[in-house]
Homo-oligomer: A and B are copies of this chain.
Amino acid sequence: MTASILGVGTSFFGKQQASHPNELMWTAVNEALADADDPTIDAIYLGTVFGAPGVAQRGLHHLGLTGIPIITVENACASGTTAFHEAVQAVEHGRFGNVLAVGVEKMTDSFAGAIHPESTDPEGRSGLALPSLYAMSATRYQQVHGVSAEDLALVAVKNHGHAAGNERAQHRTPHTVEQVLDSRMIADPLTLLQCCPIADGAAAAVIGSAKGADRTVRVRSSVLQSGGLWDHRSDHVWGFGLVRDTANAAYEAAGVSPDDLDVIECHDAFTIGEIVTTEALGLATEGNGASLLRNGHTTVGGKQPVNPSGGLLSRGHPLGATGLAQIAEITWQLRGDAGQRQVDGARIGLVETMGGGVAGIDGNACVVAVLE
């Protein structure tokens, strides 16, 4: 059975310290249910990394969502997309009719514990938090491919520019290359504006098999794979192999090629991430990801816009919510509902999320979904 996205919703993304995680969820879920014309929900998958045990049941009970199977899933930064993937698989295999996928994270409650890798493991003991790991990838990438600091900064310039059109994004101020490079150094070569900010938020999608309505977005494929540990002997930096393999499986299952994509949301937790990921997705050949930025290929108005929402860099990155916010953005884009950041005539879109670091350095998990 083909799975479709019947409705989506998100909260505002940003620091919302006074909000209970439930409030963020209620906003996202109520919007998604209304958007899907209030369907019967047969099961729920909720993605979160640092949510308290039972966050799903407690929060959703107040919306009358109880009695049915509710399962919390975790796959680091790909937790939201994992919830989406499990919902899609359940519908495709005829296990459930309509499934709600929800993602939530209150980073302002939990981030203190989140920034450092598990302290009992090697990278934890050596102080290699995620910005450091991405910085090491960036340095190696620059050395191998001759890419400049300005090239890296172009990712932030593009995505902050896109976020200006997204009223749900955390940071909507456009920046120049100079401003990006002049912002505080976090982990050389990554400056502050090249790192995703700490955000609270929730996002949701209703998956079902109903068709017919013009607004229904079809899931042409959804693939989830796990990755291995960091290996300095690898030919590639940070997650390239995992994203490439997962994307190729998703393209094959969907019967599309990278050229067919009209709009993409991908995992730009740090600027280097988007460059490597666009190569792994096949939008550019290896070592040429930065050219997509220089020639405007991945800017809204270009041939294959990447992260029209502003991406993790500008929308913010509440871990469990991110994947479903990406799904919501591509759904809006394919329906023509994306307002001033709309990609004209978008027909086929892709979502990619990489859950890595903290414990599984080269990527715990990657989910790639092709939507139409």
Contacts and interface: CB of A to CB of B under 8 A. Distances in A.
Q: Which of A56, A67, A226 has the most CB of B within 10 A?
A: A226
Contact of A359 (B54, B82, B95, B357): B54
A67 to B, nearest CB: 6
A2 interface: no
Interface stretch (A70-78, A269-277, A295-303, A332-340): A70-78
A53 B71 contact: no
Interface in A319-370: 355-360, 364-365
Contacts of A89: 95
A49 B57 contact: no
B72 A73 contact: yes
A163 B140 CA distance: 56
A185 interface: no
A56 B93 CA distance: 25
A120 interface: yes
A245 B115 CA distance: 42
Classify chain A's interface size.
35 or more
A61 interface: yes
Given A20-B120, A95-B89, A118-B52, A360 B58 contact: yes
A49 to B, nearest CB: 5
A8 B53 CA distance: 26
Q: Determine the main DSSP class of A at the interface with B.
A: mixed
Contacts of A245: 67
B364 A69 contact: no
A364 B93 contact: no
Interface of A: 20, 44, 49, 52-58, 61, 66-76, 82, 86, 89, 93-95, 118, 120-121, 224-229, 245, 355-360, 364-365
Given A61-B360, A89-B95, 14 more contacts: A44-B226, A52-B358, A53-B74, A54-B357, A57-B226, A58-B360, A61-B228, A61-B229, A67-B225, A67-B245, A68-B225, A69-B225, A71-B224, A73-B74
